[in-house]
Amino acid sequence: MKVRSGLLACLRGLALAFVTLAGSITLFVLTVLSIAFMLLGLGVFTTPALIGAVRRHANQRRLLAARWSGVQIRLPYRPLPADRRSGLTGQVELCTHLLKDPATWRDLLWLLVDMTAGCVTAALACVFLPYGVEGWVLAAGVWEPIVDAGDTYWYAFVPVTSQTTANLAALTGAGFALLGLFASPLLLRAHFLLARAFLAPTPQMALAERVERLTETRHDAVDTSAAELRRIERDLHDGAQARLVAMGMSLGTIEALVEKDPAKAKELLAAARTNSAEALAELRDLVRGIHPPVLAERGLGDAVRALALRMPIPVETEVELSGRFEEPVEAAAYFAISEILTNAAKHSGAERMWLDIHHEAGMLRIAVTDNGSGGARVAEGGGLSGVERRLGTFDGVLAVSSPPGGPTMVTMEIPCVPTAPRPAV
């Protein structure tokens, strides 16, 4: 396994060395020239295209960093303006927006570092194994014509002048090859860590992004709360309130008929009893929709198990939670799970669903999977969009993987820490 990873790191380092020399140098020179030509007006048209090419080049490096070395590099770019005008004015606005983005200049600085220090680290990742093989090749007899043609040949610190010294060179080469097997993956990772230092958002950029996201999600939370209050008001007005009014009228009629027509009064009492039971059921459903009693009493794990039992499709649940969480977090997670399970039951055509909930590394992680037809996505105004806004209030994130034909997996993460278990009410 170590041999395979060392060989792969060597080949990948070689590929990256060529990419840094060819791609990074070319993009850096062209982008700097394009920015300089903005004074002549030409750069307004070429700069956005070249900055886009630089970002694609940087994104490719981010992808390789994650795949080859497990180094995650977040995107720092500001979103492009959605209401950009067309024509020359829109082009100027786009160019101005890109040049005002600090990530643009950090990308250019990364190109400069990538073509120097980045190229060196990538080249070092691929140099030890080939150099070790050279020592073995010398010991195989290649040293003789080389020495005959040019006197002493130095392999590292070994002067190769005879078969004995060639054998010593082979031994030294084995050391270099062994070093390469262990050092090449580390040097490749160092290359990507160097890239992350320039391509990842700075703490100031991350803070600005978080403030912007929190501002947006807070506005969404206010809108959602207002809509929820209107729903509760409508449900009370059209449901329980109407039934209670009908009960009051029936009781008034019963009071008038209790002596004149006891049979009719008895019939109206039975109807009033039915209305009271239905009103109570509606109130319970309404309260459950606001905050399920089982969630308050037993916690998120038992609440989602009870929710799964009410689904029309079988749901396999696996819950591993150490303790309770803050009530707003539990409520957000519960209603997000409820929304996703309900949507899957209605629209996915699935025969079975799986729900996994666990907490690790300060994150409440939730995964909902179904074996339906796939094609789910986060669309504006859709159920998943509402879930995303709900989680965003707590800095949570939602990701959807739903290829055509399925399966569909919706994953959610909410940063939180367990609290001491609350006593049952």
In CATH, what number is assigned to the domain containing residue 350?
3.30.565.10
d(CA 304, CA 281): 21
> How far apart, in whole angstroms, are the C-alpha atoms of residue 181 and residue 175?
10
Tally of domains within the chain: 3
Is the same domain home to 254 and 376? no
* Same domain (yes/no): 143, 230: no
425 domain-assigned: no
113 closest CA partner among 196, 181, 174? 196
Taking the C-alpha atoms of residue 94 and residue 338, their distance in angstroms, rounded to an integer, is 41
* Domain assignment of residue 226, yes or no: yes
The answer as to whether 424 is a domain residue is no
Instruction: Say if 421 falls within a structural domain.
Output: no
Which of the four pLDDT bands, split at 50, 70 and 90, describes residue 14?
confident
Alpha helices (runs of H) in 114-202, residue ranges in sequence order: 119-125, 128-137, 143-150, 163-199
**Does 240 share its domain with 308?**
no
| Region label for 155, one of left (φ > 0), alpha (ψ between -120 and 50) or beta (otherwise) | beta
Say how far apart CA 394 and CA 357 lie, in whole Å: 17
Q: Please, are residues 308 and 341 in contact by the beta-carbon 8 Å criterion?
A: yes
153 and 170 co-located in one domain: yes
pLDDT for the residue 425: 45
The answer to whether the peptide bond before residue 130 is cis (omega within 30 degrees of 0) is no
Length of the chain: 425
The whole-number pLDDT of residue 193 equals: 92
Across all residues in the chain, what is the average pLDDT? 78
Residues 170 and 302 in one domain: no
The pTM for the full model equals 0.56
* 423 is a domain residue: no
| pLDDT number for residue 423 | 46
CA angle 68/72/77 to nearest 5° reads: 125
* Same structural domain, 37 and 157: yes
Q: Given 290, 313, 334, which residue is the final one in a domain?
A: 290
Q: Report d(CA 386, CA 128) in Å as an integer.
A: 54
Question: What percent of the chain has a predicted confidence (pLDDT) above 70?
Answer: 76
Q: Show which of 151, 175, 201 is a domain's final residue.
A: 201
Q: At what angle do helices 163-199 and 128-137 cross, to 10 degrees?
A: 170
Task: Name residue 352's amino acid.
Answer: R
Count the Cβ atoms, other than its own, within 10 Å of residue 370. 28
Residues 258 and 333 in one domain: no
Chain position carrying tokens 């669903």? 353
Model pLDDT for residues 194-251, shown as the tens digit of each residue = 999 999 888 777 676 666 666 665 655 555 555 556 656 665 655 556 666 666 766 7
Residue with the two structure tokens 């795949």? 67
Last residue of a domain, one of 179, 201, 223: 201
Tell me the residue range of the domain where 248 lies: 204-290
Q: Distance (Å, rounded) from C-alpha 182 to C-alpha 175?
A: 11
Note whether 369 and 407 are within 8 A (CB): yes
269-323 pLDDT per residue, tens: 777 777 677 666 666 655 555 556 777 777 888 888 888 888 888 888 888 887 7
Q: How large a percentage of the chain has pLDDT more than 90?
A: 10
Dist CA 80 CA 273 (whole Å): 61
261 in any annotated domain? yes
One domain for residues 149 and 33: yes
The DSSP letter of residue 20 is I
